[in-house]
Amino acid sequence: MVLIARSVFAQQRRAFSSTASTAYKVAVLGAAGGIGQPLSLLLKLNNKVTDLSLYDLRGAPGVAADVSHVPTNSTVTGYLAENDGLKKTLTGADVILIPAGIPRKPGMTRDDLFNTNASIVRDLAKAAAEHAPKAFVLVIANPVNSTVPIVSEVYKARGVYDPKRLFGVTTLDVLRASRFISQVQSTDPKAEPVTVVGGHSGHTIVPLLSQSNHADLAGETRDALVNRIQFGGDEVVKAKDGAGSATLSMAQAAARFTDSLLTSLDGTPVTEPTYVDSPLFKSEGIEFFASKVTLGPAGAETIHPLGKLNDYEVKLIETAKADLKKNIAKGIKFVSENP
Ligand code: NAD
Ligand code: LMR
């Protein structure tokens, strides 16, 4: 009982004492949605976030009022489109997260979301390029393989593109890989780091199990595990039965990536897989690729090569590259035809 009380007091002290060395304004665009709401809560709990700015076409002021009662010292403001809400959300932002966009229903691929989400992301990117051109942009809206190139094209057209500041959030694939491998091995997922590279959909998601703690995984066990990591999103879409896709695990993933970025901006570099403008396969016409990236004050400071792969993984990468090339070209073409 005493121990429980002590631990509660310790948690409260941590929550009330701001340990942040720098103040950060974080903006969430699409904050009233399935991901936006739990993500806003998790960001409110992060002491590095001092100003949380929530934007949505509907409901953001309500989410902000609700989250603002959580006892940490950050301010929370919610905006709608009226009264220059998007401009107010973005002005002064250090980090912008974009979960705005529709989610999948059973039977759809992420690419089926393109027609709706491409213009949503393009328009939000235009506003971000105008009102917060130096902010780090973390794209969550699907199809990530295409929406990240959309943001880069919008920024290039305005002369404000810094490739080190744009990220596709692929952290959910990393969380799934750790969890799923821990279920196969009966281990603690926290002790099961898995590097996941490529992109964020189906066969473009490539877990490098040969670099995990279980390099000897082979045969049907390995194939089933890789398939589950690649198609983990479908499990959730199917179980939600028309009510959307992963929201809670995604919020945790985005909150973790944001914390890694803020920790790195504060001077402690963190290395995480993420989908970035990457030199790894540019010579093959693939402008973006997820791999381990060391984050620092400038953003994506070191993009790491894939390291040693086995023959099985070489084949997975080849398949991923073919899909990625098409997904990236689709995003670039969309902006050139619909600027
Ligand atoms: P949702 O429908 O619950 O929420 C989306 C929110 O965006 C809504 O509140 C909506 O009002 C808002 N919105 C739409 N257009 C907007 C605009 N122009 N400006 C501001 N807000 C706008 O969807 P969700 O479950 O939160 O998913 C959001 C997106 O994230 C989907 O595209 C989904 O596929 C994607 N997603 C990505 C990952 C990943 O790993 N990167 C994981 C899960 C979901
Ligand atoms: C996921 O991986 O859960 C997301 O990309 C959402 C989806 O459509 O599966």
The predicted structure's pLDDT at residue 21: 58
Which whole number is the average pLDDT over 286-302? Answer: 98
Tokens of 162: 């810094």
Q: Whose CA is nearest to atom 4 of ligand 2?
A: 233
Inform me whether the pLDDT recorded for 76 exceeds 60: yes
Inform me whether the pLDDT recorded for 145 exceeds 90: yes
Inform me whether the pLDDT recorded for 100 exceeds 70: yes
Which whole number is the average pLDDT over 274-296? Answer: 98
- Asked if residue 276 lies in contact with residue 294, where contact means CB atoms within 8 angstroms, the answer is no
The predicted structure's pLDDT at residue 8: 38
Sign of CA dihedral 31, 84, 48, 62: negative
d(CA 139, CA 188): 29
Q: Is there an atom of ligand 1 within 6 Å of 32 CB?
A: yes
Q: Is there an atom of ligand 1 within 6 Å of 56 CB?
A: yes
Which whole number is the average pLDDT over 202-223? Answer: 97
Q: Is there an atom of ligand 1 within 6 Å of 85 CB?
A: no
d(CA 177, CA 209): 9
Ligand 2 atom at minimum distance from 104 CA: 8
173-203 confidence digits (pLDDT tens): 999 999 999 999 999 999 999 999 999 999 9
CA–centroid distance, residue 105 to ligand 2 (Å):
10
Q: Whose CA is nearest to atom 9 of ligand 2?
A: 233
Overall size of the chain counted in residues: 339
Structure-model confidence comparison of residues 12 and 270, the more confident one: 270
Q: Candidates 110, 116, 235: which one to mutate for ligand 2, based on the most atoms within 8 Å of Cβ?
A: 110
Q: Is there an atom of ligand 1 within 6 Å of 120 CB?
A: yes
Q: Which residues line ligand 2 (CB under 6 A)?
A: 103-104, 110, 142, 172, 233, 236-237, 245-246
Q: Whose CA is nearest to atom 2 of ligand 2?
A: 233
Inform me whether the pLDDT recorded for 16 exceeds 70: no
Inform me whether the pLDDT recorded for 15 exceeds 90: no
The predicted structure's pLDDT at residue 19: 44
256-269 confidence digits (pLDDT tens): 999 999 999 999 99
- Asked if residue 289 lies in contact with residue 324, where contact means CB atoms within 8 angstroms, the answer is yes
H/E segment holding residue 9: helix 2-16
Q: Which ligand is nearest to the CA of 34?
A: 1
CA–centroid distance, residue 46 to ligand 2 (Å):
24
Lowest mean pLDDT among 19-23, 96-100, 142-146, 227-231: 19-23
Inform me whether the pLDDT recorded for 55 exceeds 60: yes
CA–centroid distance, residue 102 to ligand 1 (Å):
5
As a whole number, the mean pLDDT across the chain is 94
Inform me whether the pLDDT recorded for 7 exceeds 60: no
CA–centroid distance, residue 199 to ligand 2 (Å):
12
Which whole number is the average pLDDT over 110-117? Answer: 97
CA–centroid distance, residue 47 to ligand 2 (Å):
28
The predicted structure's pLDDT at residue 4: 40
Confidence of residue 2 (pLDDT cuts 50, 70, 90): very low
Lowest mean pLDDT among 6-10, 117-121, 140-144, 239-243: 6-10
Q: What percent of the chain has pLDDT over 90?
A: 94
d(CA 53, CA 48): 14
Tokens of 142: 């699907």
CA nearest neighbour of 40 among 8, 14, 16, 72: 72
304 flagged as catalytic: no
CA–centroid distance, residue 27 to ligand 2 (Å):
22
Give phi and psi for 251, each to the nearest 5: -60, -45
Domains of the chain: 18-168 (3.40.50.720), 171-337 (3.90.110.10)
The predicted structure's pLDDT at residue 3: 39
Q: Candidates 96, 144, 245: which one to mutate for ligand 1, based on the most atoms within 8 Å of Cβ?
A: 245
Which whole number is the average pLDDT over 201-217? Answer: 97
Phi-psi group of 29: left, alpha or beta (phi > 0 → left; psi -120 to 50 → alpha; rest → beta): beta
- Asked if residue 86 lies in contact with residue 77, where contact means CB atoms within 8 angstroms, the answer is no
Task: Find the catalytic residue in 69, 131, 200, 203.
Answer: 200
